[in-house]
Amino acid sequence: MKKKLIRMVSLVVCVLMISACFPVYAQSSSNEDFSIQPRWTELSTYQCSLTSHSGLFSNAKVASTASTHSAYSKIEMTLTIQVWSNGAYIDTSNSWTSSGSGATSIEKNIKLSQGNYRAKSVVKVYSSSGTYLETVTKYSADIVI
């Protein structure tokens, strides 16, 4: 019995030592959003950003791009600026839409008053025949104006 216990402990120690020899790699993300990203059905790439921008008539730049695996899939994108108010983000009147086959994007320079803002991008993807495939929502990092 004692021999079996010693063999079992030795086996566990060997397995742990061997597994410690294998390197572990992590991928660095350039996005501001470090949350877990889902696997999508047809959507290939998707980004949403809101950054401070100094311009004559603007102080922020909002952008969102999306593309699909198939060049024939249809994409509908809605990009909305949200402001922090009373403990939650609410939509502002700043909203734009875009659509395309295989890819679409929106990029705008805007003027915002003082506050805490983020961008919300919603993408709906359809097959080339028009069958609904998926809806994906992405938020930018917060900025303070």
CATH number of 41-144: 2.60.40
* Whether the model pTM is above 0.85: no
Q: Sorting pLDDT into bands at 50, 70 and 90, what band is 65?
A: very high
The more confidently predicted of residues 64 and 3 is: 64
According to the model, what pLDDT value does residue 9 have?
A: 83
Evaluate if residue 5 carries a pLDDT over 90. no
Evaluate if residue 30 carries a pLDDT over 70. no
According to the model, what pLDDT value does residue 8 have?
A: 85
d(CA 4, CA 6): 5
